[in-house]
Chains A and B, each alone.
Chain A
Amino acid sequence: MRVRPVDFSMKIISKLKASIGCIMVTLGVSCTSTTVDEFRQGATSLESDESVVILGRRQASDFETKSDFVECVGERMGEGENAISVIPEREFIDAMFPWFEPRTAPLRAGDLEQLLAEDVVAQKMNEFGIKYMVWVEGFTETTGRTGSISCTVGPGGGGCFGFGTWEDDANFDARVWDVTSLKNVGTINADATGQSYLPALVVPIPLIARVETNACNRLAAQLKDFVNGE
């Protein structure tokens, strides 16, 4: 007699969880938007034997560009149609050590002239075959955290209940320097915003807006076209 109501309520809870999950997945996907702006200052083209290096800016005191994001942009540029040769950031910085550390890296395209006057630096740059140096700077900010989730654990088991939501804004700038002309040839900005949800009905179901991944994909695609002169 006691078993039936429990089964019935469990079925309702399970259906409710599935429905909420579906709704939230739909909301989560539809609530991410990305804007890309391009500002070109010079002509670009890339030969098959030339390569690009993507570097993260780490001079700011309150934030630093994540190496994961820089790596993501590099990987996306190196795959698919019109793939280009991208030197991995860590490999380049280690090979150029100590010229591209946070305190010693050039801040303006004009500073490259002084840097390339060092024969050891110029030689290494030629070995890599670098035509363009891309400086990526930015971060992801989380705002508007609302809701609450409480979890309890007891001898009979545990569970969580509640709802949380927040907004993520990933804003990244990419400045493209021409290593040959020692000039800034353009800037691309990618701004992705998205709402994330965390409903918890016994088990928390994170529905994360993938703003950084979207910003990375769009920035990489735009950069690839930019350096190819398209």
Chain B
Amino acid sequence: MRSKIKTQLLWSKVLALLLVASLMGSCGVSYLVIEGSFPTPNINKIPLSMAIFYDDALREFSYMEYSETGREEINIESGESHIRLFNAVLPAMFEEVIEIEGMDDPMVQEVDAVFSPTIEEFQLALPEKTKLDVYEVWIKYNMRIVDRSGNSLADWVVTSYGKTPTATFLSVEDGINQAAIVALRDLASSFSLNFSQIPEVQGWLNTL
């Protein structure tokens, strides 16, 4: 009888510990690195040689999602995935693409222009907050093209959007990752198909 009570007490302690551990675990920040691959665009190349400059803000871009009480909830790192995307898209868009470390790179003198993308805003909508059955990601970019001397040739804003439906066995992290990949593909499609239609870019291309 006494041993039975002892066993029950032990079980209760184990359950209490598990409950505390799970509560503590749920209070921590979860880290998510956006992962995915991007296909090469099937488009006609523009006869230009372009240098690409990824600044540290883009390389290390991360977004922190806060809970309704202001607690840090999910940290989303998407810098590397953006670089993978541009590395897949740009060589399909231009005849020649080189990556440079900065405007003082000697390779700058051998190209027609330097392209430098930056992320201005990142927004996330989770089903638990919106009460919709989709994960949504919005990203706002500033695209800049400068000549060899650093003078602005074109400067425009591109927004991208991605969503993915909730599913029974889809974790929050996987849902965000899938929505972000759709948003990145959306960026690639609008950037590659509309590049020549941007008035400033069109004006610059006409001068070449």
Chain A residues within 8 Å of B, Cβ to Cβ: 62-64, 66, 94-99, 101-104, 118-121, 124, 153, 155-156
CB pair A63 B165 closer than 8 Å: yes
Chain B neighbourhood of A121, CB < 8 A = 42
Measured CB to CB, the closest approach of chain B to A153, in angstroms, equals 8
Complex CA gap A156/B8 in Å reads: 8
Chain B residues within 8 Å of A, Cβ to Cβ: 7-8, 11-12, 15, 38-44, 132-134, 161, 163-165, 167, 182, 185-186, 188-190, 192-193
Q: Looking across the interface, which residue of chain B has its beta carbon closest to that of A103?
A: B186
CB pair A95 B186 closer than 8 Å: no
CB pair B41 A102 closer than 8 Å: no
Chain B neighbourhood of A95, CB < 8 A = 39, 42
Select one of A62, A104, A120, A156 contacting B189, CB under 8 A: A104
A–B complex contacts, Cβ < 8 Å, 29 sampled:
A62-B132, A62-B134, A63-B134, A64-B134, A64-B163, A64-B164, A64-B165, A94-B39, A95-B42, A97-B41, A97-B185, A97-B189, A98-B42, A98-B43, A101-B185, A101-B186, A101-B189, A103-B161, A103-B186, A103-B189, A103-B190, A104-B190, A120-B42, A124-B42, A155-B7, A155-B8, A155-B11, A155-B12, A155-B15
Q: Looking across the interface, which residue of chain B has its beta carbon closest to that of A120?
A: B42
Measured CB to CB, the closest approach of chain A to B187, in angstroms, equals 10
Q: Looking across the interface, which residue of chain B has its beta carbon closest to that of A101?
A: B189
Complex CA gap A114/B161 in Å reads: 24
Asked, given contacts A64-B134, A120-B42, A121-B42, whether A98 binds B12 with beta carbons under 8 Å apart, the answer is: no
Q: Looking across the interface, which residue of chain A has its beta carbon closest to that of B133?
A: A63
CB pair B8 A98 closer than 8 Å: no
Chain A neighbourhood of B38, CB < 8 A = 97
In the A-B complex, list the 4 residue pairs whose CB atoms are closest, starting with the nearest. A98-B189, A155-B11, A94-B39, A97-B39
Chain A neighbourhood of B190, CB < 8 A = 103-104
Measured CB to CB, the closest approach of chain A to B97, in angstroms, equals 17
Q: Looking across the interface, which residue of chain B has its beta carbon closest to that of A100?
A: B189
Asked, given contacts A98-B188, A155-B8, A155-B12, whether A66 binds B39 with beta carbons under 8 Å apart, the answer is: no
CB pair B193 A104 closer than 8 Å: yes
Measured CB to CB, the closest approach of chain B to A101, in angstroms, equals 4
Chain A neighbourhood of B133, CB < 8 A = 63
Chain B neighbourhood of A156, CB < 8 A = 8
Chain B neighbourhood of A102, CB < 8 A = 182, 186
Chain B neighbourhood of A99, CB < 8 A = 42, 189
Chain A neighbourhood of B193, CB < 8 A = 98, 104
Among A98, A101, A118, A155, residue most surrounded by chain B Cβ atoms (within 10 Å): A98
